Structure 1
Amino acid sequence: MPTPDFVLSLREKIGHELLWLPGVAAVVFNEASEVLLCRRADNGRWTIITGMLDPGEEPGPGLLREVEEETGVQARLEHLIHVGTTDPVTFPNQDRCQFLNLVFRCAYVAGTARVNDDESSDVRWFALDDLPELNARHRMLIELARTSTGVPVFET
């Protein structure tokens, strides 16, 4: 999915300056306890499923929209696992963003994992003992989701 219109409008005013945005992320598990990951088209890195909310969009439905848009998988929210702030990100076009990120544990419902938009170059299920290279934050979030009791972790 291309950059949302509201971000493009803001970028016309602020250029590449740091933009604070609401973000969501999903750690989606299937019946075999594999985790759904995508390889970003812009930098080639494997990640959990992430996205940004549209103005006024509720986090849960927005996250499920992102999962389906990016992977073709329909998921169900189980619970919130983490609330925190990402480090600032500089995208290949030099736009800078930082996200207040709400991370949810999700369960697979239907669909075939596949590249479903232009944001990813690959989408797959991975066994937890055979994960590709991931940043430390995403590894931590997968572990939190795996062991989650339903009480979210808040950064302090």
Structure 2
Amino acid sequence: MATPDFIRTIRAFAGHQLLWLPGVSAVVFDDEGRILLGQRSDSRKWALISGIPEPGEQPAACAVREVYEETAVHIEVERVVMVQAGGQVTFANGDVCQFMDTTLRCRAVGGEARVNDDESLQVGWFSVDALPKLDDYALVRIKQALLDEPTWFEPTT
């Protein structure tokens, strides 16, 4: 994910130390039930389309923007799937982040999937039973998006 300008400003003062950031992930389905994925240019791994909301931007608006920016696919957001703190991520430049991710189930309503910026090497539609290698966190979010259940969150003890 490209680093937003407001994060660059914070990094100028904070250095590489841990930043707690909002994140939005989109589990996008087409009419055939396939899932839209992108192969990230930074890690070369396949992943759900995701991004950081701009200050004041709502999660659904962020998902619509990020999916279009990265894949040229137009979407509508259907519902919140889960809200979860992810693990710490250390990027190649040494920056450390942890994201509070809001995962949204979305459906494609137009556009043709293609690489639309420099954040992805490839984008494509995959059937649920033929997904490329994904990390466990992506698989959990996809599983929750496939269920017709209320929003998942980590319960308190």
- Shorter-chain TM range is over 0.9
* Aligned residue runs from structure 1 range 80-119, under 5 A: 80-119=80-119
Alignment of 1:48 with 2:48, yes or no, is: yes
Structure 1 moving runs of 4+ over 2 Å: none
Distance 1:4 1:142 in 2: 26
Letter in 2 for 1:77: V
Q: CA deviation at 1:102?
A: 0.4
Could you say what secondary structure the match of 2:8 adopts?
A: helix
Please list the CA deviations of residues 94-120 of structure 1 after superposition, one character each: whole Å capped at 9, or x if unmatched: 111111110000001000111111111
Could you say what secondary structure the match of 1:55 adopts?
A: coil
Could you say what secondary structure the match of 1:62 adopts?
A: helix
Letter in 2 for 1:146: L
Identity %: 45
Contact 1:75–1:106, Cα closer than 8 Å, also in 2: yes
Contact 1:37–1:49, Cα closer than 8 Å, also in 2: yes
Alignment of 1:143 with 2:135, yes or no, is: no
Distance 1:128 1:96 in 2: 31
Letter in 2 for 1:128: V
Distance 2:81 2:138 in 1: 13
Could you say what secondary structure the match of 2:51 adopts?
A: strand
Residue 124 of structure 1 corresponds to 124
Contact 1:81–1:148, Cα closer than 8 Å, also in 2: no
In structure 1, runs of 5+ residues without a counterpart are none
Letter in 2 for 1:70: E
Could you say what secondary structure the match of 2:87 adopts?
A: coil
Alignment of 1:25 with 2:25, yes or no, is: yes
Contact 1:72–1:112, Cα closer than 8 Å, also in 2: yes
Letter in 2 for 1:75: I
Distance 1:74 1:123 in 2: 14
Distance 1:4 1:134 in 2: 25
Letter in 2 for 1:87: G
Distance 1:52 1:116 in 2: 17
Distance 2:141 2:148 in 1: 10
Alignment of 1:154 with 2:150, yes or no, is: no
Distance 1:2 1:140 in 2: 24
Letter in 1 for 2:89: V
Letter in 2 for 1:153: W
In structure 2, runs of 5+ residues without a counterpart are none
Could you say what secondary structure the match of 1:121 adopts?
A: strand
Alignment of 1:66 with 2:59, yes or no, is: no
